[in-house]
A and B are shown apart, each in its own frame.
Chain A
Amino acid sequence: MAVHKRSYHSYAGEFSPAWSRFLVVSRYAYQRALSSKFIVAYFAICFFYPLGCALALYMNHNQRLLAIFNLSSFFSVDATFFYHFMNVQGVLAFILTALVGPGLVSPDLANHALPLYFCRPFSRVEYVSGKLFVLVLMLSLVTWIPGETLFLIQSSLAGASWMWSNLWVGASIFLGSAIEILVFSLLALALSAWIKRKTAAGAALLGVFFFGAGFGQAINAVLRTKNGSLIDLGSLIARIEIQLFHQYARRPAAVPADWAWLVLLAIGAFCLLLLEKKVRAYEVVRG
C-alpha cells in the first residue's frame, strides 16, 4: 500500500519518571480496595485503639487529673506498654491483610490481565512492588506510624530524658512492625498469586495462621518438643516482639529468637519464589 502522506507520529511528549511507574498499579489497587465500605469501616476501626492510647497517655500526664486521684501516674509507659500496643495492632493488621491482600493479584490472574501488564514496558518487579506497596502503606498506617506517633507523644509529655533512655523502644516499634508488614504482605500476595479466587485466597491466609498455630501445638504435644512452634507464624512473630521489647519475663519463649528470624526470612524468600513462579506474562492451562 503506497503511503503518500506521513501524518502518523509516535508520541514524543513527556514521560513520567520511570521509578514512580509502579505506583500506577498501587493507585488502582487502592481505588478497588477502598471501594468496599466494609474495608473502609474496618480501616477506620483500626485507629480506635491508637486514639485511645493517645488519650490515655495524655491523661497519664495530666497533673490536674492525677491530683484528683492523688497519683503520680495511672500506669507506667515503658516497653511493655508499646509491646501490648504492637500486639493489638498486629492482630488488626493481620485481619486487614486478609481483607485487602487477596484482591490484589487474584483478580488479575483470573481475568487474564497479567499479559496486558507485561506487554507494556512494565516489569514483574514493578508489578509486585506496586501491589506490595498497597499493603505496606495500609499496614504502616495501622502499625508503626501510630506506634511512633504515640512514642513521640509520650516523649513530648515525659521529656527528653525519657526519650533518650527509651529510644531503643522507638526503633523496636519500627523493626517489629516492619517484620509483621513484610511477612503478612508477602504471604498475602503469594497466596493471592496462587489462588485465583480472591475469597479462597483470603480464607487460605486465615487458614495458614490457624493451621500453623494448631498443628504446631499438636507437633509439640505428640513429639514432646517445642519445635512445632516453628510453623506457627504468630508464635514466631511474637518471639521476635519479645526479643525486641525485652519481654522475656512476661512470656516463656517457645523457640529461640534467631530461629524465629531465620524461619521468617525463609518464609519471605519462599513467598518471593512463589510470586516469581506465578506472576508471568503467560499462563499454562492444563486440561
Chain B
Amino acid sequence: MSFQRLPWALWRAQIPAILRLELKKTFFTRRGAWIYFLAFAPVVLYAVHSFVELKNGVHGDLGEDSHIFATVFQFFFLRLAIFFGCVGIFGNLFRGEVLEKSLHYYFLAPLRREVLVVGKFLSGLLAATVIFCSSALLQFIALYCYFSSNTIQEYLFHEHGLAHLAAYLGVTLLACIGYGSVFLAAGLLFRNPLIPTVVVLVWEAVNGFLPALLQQISVIFYLKSLCPVAVHESLNADKHNLLDLIAVNPSPAAPATAILGLLILCLIILTLSSLQVRRMQIDYGAE
C-alpha cells in the first residue's frame, strides 16, 4: 500500500470516521428512546405549567420560577436525567459493542486504541450534549414562555437571564463530560453496569459528608458550584426517602477550580480507560 500519512493527520481522519460510525448507532434509534424521554420530560412539564398559567391568566413570579428551575435542574436534571442518560450512552460505547460482538472490527483496523477511546468518547459526548443541551434550552424557553415579551426581554437582556442560560448550558456540557468519562470507564471495567451506577450514585449522594479531598473526586461537586442559582437541600418540605439520599449538597468550589478540576478528572479517567483498552482482548464467549 502506497498510502502514507503523519499520525496527527491520520488521527484527524480517523476520529471523524469513528464519530460517523458511532452516531449512527446512538441517534434516533429505538433502543435509545428512553434517553430522549429522560431528557425531554422536564420540557413537557414546564410546557404544561406554562399552558396552565396562560389559560388561567396568572402572572407568574420570575424569581420564584427561576428558583424552581434551578431546583429541578440540580436535583432532577443533573443528578437523574443526565446521570442515567450518560449511563445509557457512554456505558454502551464499549460494553454494548462487546455484547453485540462487533468490537473486533475496530481492533482489526490500523487504529491506535487510544484514538478509539477518544473517538468513542467524543461521539458519546456529541450525542449527550446535543440531547441534553437542547433539552436545557427548551426547558428554559418552556418555563418562561408564558411571561409577557417585555418581561422576558428585560430578564434576558438587562438582567442575568442570558448569563443564567449560558451557565446552565455550560453546566450541562460539563455534566456530560464528567459523567461520560466515568461511565465510559465503568463500561470497560464492569460487565454489569448496575454496580458502578449504584456506586457512583451513592458516592455522589454522600459527597457532602466526605472530607474535602474526597469531595473533589466527584462530578456533582464541581457542577453544583457552577450553577447560577443556589438552592436549598430538598425540593420541598416533603422529604422523601429516596431523594433524601441524593439531595444533600456538597460545599461549593470556585468556578475556575470547578471547570479545571472536572476537566482534569475527566482526562485522568480517559487516560486510565485508554490503558485498559490497550490491554483488552477479544473474548466474547466470556460475556
Contact = CB atoms under 8 A, between A and B. Distances in A.
- Whether A and B touch directly in their complex, counting CB atoms under 8 A apart, is answered as yes
Nearest to B190: A199
Interface in A211-240: 211, 213-215, 217-223, 226, 229, 232, 234-235, 238
Contact of B192 (A202, A207, A238): A202
A36 to B, nearest CB: 10
Contact of A207 (B68, B71, B84, B99): B84
B80 A211 contact: yes
B45 A217 contact: no
B213 interface: no
A168 interface: no
Nearest to B41: A215
B144 interface: no
A234 B76 contact: no
Given A234-B241, A238-B241, 14 more contacts: A199-B194, A203-B84, A203-B88, A206-B194, A220-B236, A220-B238, A221-B235, A222-B45, A222-B72, A223-B45, A234-B240, A234-B242, A235-B240, A254-B238
B75 interface: yes
B264 interface: no
A139 B198 CA distance: 20
A112 to B, nearest CB: 16
B197 A214 contact: no
A105 interface: no
Interface of B: 34, 38, 41-42, 45-46, 48-49, 52, 68, 71-72, 75-76, 79-81, 84, 87-88, 95, 99, 191-194, 197-198, 201, 235-236, 238, 240-243, 246
A206 B240 CA distance: 16
A174 to B, nearest CB: 22
Interface of A: 87, 98-99, 197, 199-200, 202-204, 206-207, 209-211, 213-215, 217-223, 226, 229, 232, 234-235, 238, 252, 254
B206 to A, nearest CB: 16
Contacts of A209: 242
Contacts of B191: 199
Contacts of B76: 214-215, 217-218
Among A197, A204, A232, chain B packs the most CB atoms within 10 A around the CB of A197
B123 to A, nearest CB: 19
Nearest to A234: B242
A207 B194 CA distance: 10
Among B42, B49, B242, chain A packs the most CB atoms within 10 A around the CB of B242
Nearest to A98: B194
B192 A219 contact: no
Contact of B75 (A203, A211, A214, A222): A214
B22 to A, nearest CB: 18
B58 to A, nearest CB: 11
11 contacts: A202-B192, A211-B80, A211-B84, A214-B246, A215-B41, A215-B45, A218-B45, A218-B72, A220-B238, A222-B49, A229-B238
Among A204, A207, A215, A218, chain B packs the most CB atoms within 10 A around the CB of A218
